[in-house]
């Protein structure tokens, strides 16, 4: 995923993608899902969750608001950003400021209705709706509140990002299971006992995600020829157009690499894949149970089989920006 940044109102799809980036950044710093959702409920009303937007779309009006939380005047944020080496629209700088400077700068002021410290807010397990109100009253102090909208938006982001968290865990479970099978030589390649203890290329990956809670086998995935349609029906996305099949650039941990006619493998990150290749006799069946060669089910460097498709579980991208003055990816900047 990537940020969409510009002085422009965003679609809900674009706001959701930006919200995912906010979640990845702040959850890595200990924020609760509830607090992130409460923050995002406000960001949607303030800025379309868009780090590059100016108040009323009046570019360079520094006396008005700017950025994810519409710092007003904009110089309350932009002066600091420039001094610390950030482009003013860099979301890393804005999220860093929100996370670390909200209280010390006096932007966060506890009210009698929401009498909590900034650190308590960030880790709170209160409802997303109440935390949206807390952020509104203690941080934004908006002239036009429309509090009910902020609360309902917070609930929507809570639901959206909760699914992201679930799927990220499923990806890691699937990867770890497949690596575990590859490292255990009691499991080998065989199409005659392909659902255990041995596996073939497709049953290995179908079982990896099935045991991780993504019920692709129950939905009808049985071999490479029907994996594409079934995995999509179970929440995967076709990201083939966003990666480089020749060298693997853009492929992420847990991605399914699929040639629908004959083979499939799973990316485990760091330029490697796990796969079931062939039994010790070089055929589909007839070998002994278990891995006799160490390469019946194994981890190896990425290669292009060639693959027809790369499938990724929706909202399961791992990792995030580390903060500081690191670069950020812009998906689209409107003119």
Task: Report, as residue numbers or ranges, the catalytic residues.
Answer: 46
DSSP per position, 226-256 = HHHHHHHHTTEEE-GGGS-TTT-TT--TTPE
* Lookup: tokens for 218: 């129950």
Q: Which of 143, 140, 145, 276 is nearest to 198 (CA)?
A: 276
Q: What is the DSSP letter of 300?
A: E
Cβ-based neighbour number of residue 124 at 10 Å: 19
Cis geometry, peptide bond prior to residue 323 (ω within 30 degrees of 0) = no
**How buried is residue 146: exposed, middle or buried, by Cβ count under 10 Å (0-12/13-18/19+)?**
exposed
- What span, in angstroms and rounded, lies between the C-alpha atoms of 167 and 204? 19
Instruction: Decide if 60 contacts 38 (C-beta within 8 A).
Output: no
């Amino acid at each position: 995923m990537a940020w969409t940044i510009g002085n422009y109102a965003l679609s809900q799809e674009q706001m959701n993608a930006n919200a995912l980036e906010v979640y990845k950044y702040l959850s890595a710093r200990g924020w609760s899902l509830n607090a992130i959702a409460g923050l995002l409920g406000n960001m949607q009303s303030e800025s379309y969750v868009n780090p590059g937007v100016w108040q009323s779309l009046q570019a360079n009006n520094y006396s008005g608001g700017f950025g994810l939380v519409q710092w007003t005047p904009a110089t309350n944020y932009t002066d600091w950003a420039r001094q610390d080496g950030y482009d003013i629209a860099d979301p890393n700088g804005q999220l860093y400021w929100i996370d670390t400077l909200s209280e010390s700068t006096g932007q966060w002021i506890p009210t009698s209705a929401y009498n909590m410290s900034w650190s308590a807010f960030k880790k709170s397990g209160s409802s997303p709706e109440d935390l949206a109100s807390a952020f509104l009253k203690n941080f934004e102090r908006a002239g036009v509140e429309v509090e009910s909208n902020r609360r309902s938006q917070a609930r929507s982001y809570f639901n959206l990002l909760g699914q992201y968290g679930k799927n990220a865990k499923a990806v890691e479970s699937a990867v770890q299971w497949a690596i575990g099978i590859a490292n255990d030589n009691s499991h080998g390649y065989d199409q005659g006992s392909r659902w255990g203890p041995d596996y073939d290329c497709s049953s290995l990956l179908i079982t990896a995600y099935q045991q991780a809670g993504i019920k692709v086998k129950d939905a009808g995935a049985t071999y490479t020829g029907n994996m594409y349609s079934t995995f999509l029906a179970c929440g995967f996305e076709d990201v083939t157009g966003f990666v480089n099949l020749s060298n693997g650039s853009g492929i992420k941990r847990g991605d399914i690499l699929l040639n629908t006619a004959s083979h499939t493998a799973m990316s485990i990150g760091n330029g490697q894949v796990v796969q079931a290749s062939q039994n010790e006799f070089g055929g589909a069946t007839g070998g002994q149970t278990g891995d006799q060669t160490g390469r019946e089910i194994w981890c190896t460097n990425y290669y292009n089989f060639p693959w027809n498709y790369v499938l990724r579980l929706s909202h399961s991208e791992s990792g995030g920006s580390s903060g500081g003055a690191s670069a950020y990816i812009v998906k689209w900047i409107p003119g």
